[in-house]
Amino acid sequence: MLTLKAFHIIFMVTWFAGLFYLPRLYIYHRAAEDPVSRDRFQIMEHRLWVIMTIGAALTLASGLWLIAMAWWPMPGWLHAKLALVAALFAYHFYCLRLNRLFRVDRMPHSDRFLRIFNELPALALVAIVLLAVLKPF
């Protein structure tokens, strides 16, 4: 069980590295003015999305395995954590939508939106870690 928890954390760190960095790439991409830079950002964004998707899938699989092994019935804090994880998956797939919009040069969002969007995973991470460690309810 501890080995599985350790791998769950490793996979989660991989996923969050992408969640933290990909929106930052969007900010740089939006500011890029030459076609060579834009093309480079598209490649970087796609590759990072693939890597973080692997991390997300392994995080989900190991998390579900942990739940199946130990937490029935599920405590309230775990319900809250899973709701935040579901929101992170929505965020994750919205990143894919943004990748596709950048690919066709149709980014509708402002620089300000992208900067705020970039901060959302950090807020989710704080909440998830606090729920998992403190188990408040």
Helix (H), strand (E) counts: the chain: 4, 0
47 and 95 in contact (C-beta within 8 Å)? no
- CA-CA distance, 9 to 38, in Å (whole number)? 33
Residues in the chain: 137
Is position 109 annotated in a ligand binding site?
no
14 and 61 in contact (C-beta within 8 Å)? no
Q: Which of 122, 102, 97, 100 lies closest to 27, judged by CA?
A: 102
- Cα dihedral sign, 22-24-108-84: positive
Is position 135 annotated in a ligand binding site?
no
Binding site, annotated residues for heme: 8, 81
Binding site, annotated residues: 8, 81
